[in-house]
Amino acid sequence: MEQLLALIGQESDLRTVTTALRRAVERDRPAVVGALHITCSDEAEWETAAEFQRDFVEPLLPSLKVGRKAAFRSVNLGARYEAGACRVMVHHFALAGPEEPGSESLQTYAVKVNAHVGMMDTVDGPVFGRFLRFGHPSACCGALTAAVEGNRSTAAFADIADSLAAIPDDAYDFVRANIAESLRMLYFAVLHAQSQAWAAAQELERAVCELRESRARCYVVAGVAINRPGPDAEVVVGVTRFDKPPEEPPAKPEFFGLGTDPRRYQVEFDLSRLRIVAR
Ligand SMILES: [Zn+2]
């Protein structure tokens, strides 16, 4: 867990993040691991999805078929939490758990929520919210950008605009009014990832309540994938963990992360690697 928490705010290789989450789960020695991965539909997010599959799903999840493993996945415009996803995921993977009721063996559920933001290197420094797509600068995350700009011209963008409403009004207004355009979409991605992860954590708590006599541990990781020239990277922005003891409701969640007050964020660059600190 310490390895994962040490990554909060630090731009890291995609694999560094998945490995830290995997090791945290492995240390618990669970009898079964279930996972939900939430990403944007943007083709730029394939690296994030592939790394989670390679470094978390393959080593930890039960086989769905012989030699085939898969997480429960939400792939939608803007990487929104879809109500019901955690409940269905828990119901599915609990089937792979111990058959004996009252078992003390642990079930672990991991949810990874990935907002994303493009990054372009310019003579004036890094610009977030744009990605060189097929050789042309392109909005990235396009759905989040459309929502932030108030473009509700399609139903799908209206959905993400509604999800954006989970960001507190004062945080939204502060970013719009005070943050340089080159960093604005990074801020919104950080806020969006945390708000969607919070929605997931709340439903995950309710879902593991239904496991009754079983013991469960839950991790919800909010990350922002950085779609940049070269291999993509990721900044972990929030980690929530809680336990559900047998025959009891879940304990109070522990939250570690940047939080949802953008006034506290400080963005720095260390040898072109991004660092976000919450002061
Ligand atoms: Zn997107």
Q: 111 CA to middle of ligand 1, Å?
A: 18
Residue 163 pLDDT level (bands cut at 50, 70, 90): confident
Q: 185 CA to middle of ligand 1, Å?
A: 11
Residue 158 pLDDT > 80, yes or no? Answer: no
Residue 146 · residue 160 · CB < 8 Å: yes
Q: 215 CA to middle of ligand 1, Å?
A: 35
How high is the pLDDT of residue 242?
Answer: 95
Q: 248 CA to middle of ligand 1, Å?
A: 38
Question: Can you give 236-266 as a three-state secondary structure string?
Answer: EEEEEEEEECCCCCCCCCEEEECCCCHHHEE
Residue 151 pLDDT > 70, yes or no? Answer: no
> How many CB atoms are located within 10 Å of the residue 263 CB?
11
Residue 98 pLDDT level (bands cut at 50, 70, 90): confident
Structural domain total, the chain: 1
Q: 75 CA to middle of ligand 1, Å?
A: 10
Summarize pLDDT for 58-74 with one digit per residue, the tens.
999 999 999 999 999 99
Q: 192 CA to middle of ligand 1, Å?
A: 11
* Average pLDDT rounded to a whole number, residues 241-262: 91
Q: 252 CA to middle of ligand 1, Å?
A: 32
The Cα 170–Cα 260 span in angstroms is 10
**Average pLDDT over the chain, rounded to an integer:** 92
How high is the pLDDT of residue 101?
Answer: 58
Q: 246 CA to middle of ligand 1, Å?
A: 39
Residue 154 pLDDT level (bands cut at 50, 70, 90): low
Quote the percentage of the chain above a pLDDT of 90. Answer: 77
Q: 8 CA to middle of ligand 1, Å?
A: 21
Measured over the CA atoms of residue 122, residue 125, residue 127 and residue 132, the dihedral's sign is positive
Residue 270 pLDDT level (bands cut at 50, 70, 90): confident
CB within 8 Å of 121: residues ≥ 6 apart? 127, 228, 229, 272
Residue 220 · residue 195 · CB < 8 Å: no
Q: 270 CA to middle of ligand 1, Å?
A: 26
Residue 15 pLDDT > 90, yes or no? Answer: yes
Quote the percentage of the chain above a pLDDT of 70. Answer: 96
CATH of the domain at 26: 3.40.1050
Of the spans 26-35, 100-109, 158-167, 206-215, which averages the highest pLDDT? 26-35
How high is the pLDDT of residue 168?
Answer: 84
How high is the pLDDT of residue 246?
Answer: 86
Closest listed residue to residue 236, CA positions, set 200, 275, 180, 184: 275
Residue 129 · residue 117 · CB < 8 Å: yes
Q: 39 CA to middle of ligand 1, Å?
A: 8
How high is the pLDDT of residue 49?
Answer: 98
Q: 243 CA to middle of ligand 1, Å?
A: 32
Residue 131 · residue 137 · CB < 8 Å: yes
Q: 81 CA to middle of ligand 1, Å?
A: 13
Q: In this structure, what token pair is assigned to residue 230?
A: 């070269």
CB within 8 Å of 232: residues ≥ 6 apart? 14, 44, 47, 48, 225, 226
Q: 146 CA to middle of ligand 1, Å?
A: 10
Tell whether omega for the bond before 141 is within 30 degrees of 0, i.e. cis: yes
Residue 152 pLDDT > 70, yes or no? Answer: no
Residue 115 · residue 40 · CB < 8 Å: yes
Q: 78 CA to middle of ligand 1, Å?
A: 4
Residue 166 pLDDT level (bands cut at 50, 70, 90): confident
Closest listed residue to residue 60, CA positions, set 39, 36, 34, 37: 34
Residue 162 · residue 155 · CB < 8 Å: no
CB within 8 Å of 207: residues ≥ 6 apart? 86, 87, 89, 90, 91, 109
Q: 179 CA to middle of ligand 1, Å?
A: 21
Summarize pLDDT for 183-199 with one digit per residue, the tens.
999 999 999 999 999 99
* Single pTM value for the model: 0.95
Domain containing 78 equals 2-278
| Top-confidence residue, 82 or 167 | 82
Strand 233-244 to strand 254-257: parallel, antiparallel, or no bridges (unpaired)? antiparallel
Residue 148 · residue 115 · CB < 8 Å: no
Q: In this structure, what token pair is assigned to residue 249?
A: 């409701």
* Average pLDDT rounded to a whole number, residues 22-47: 96
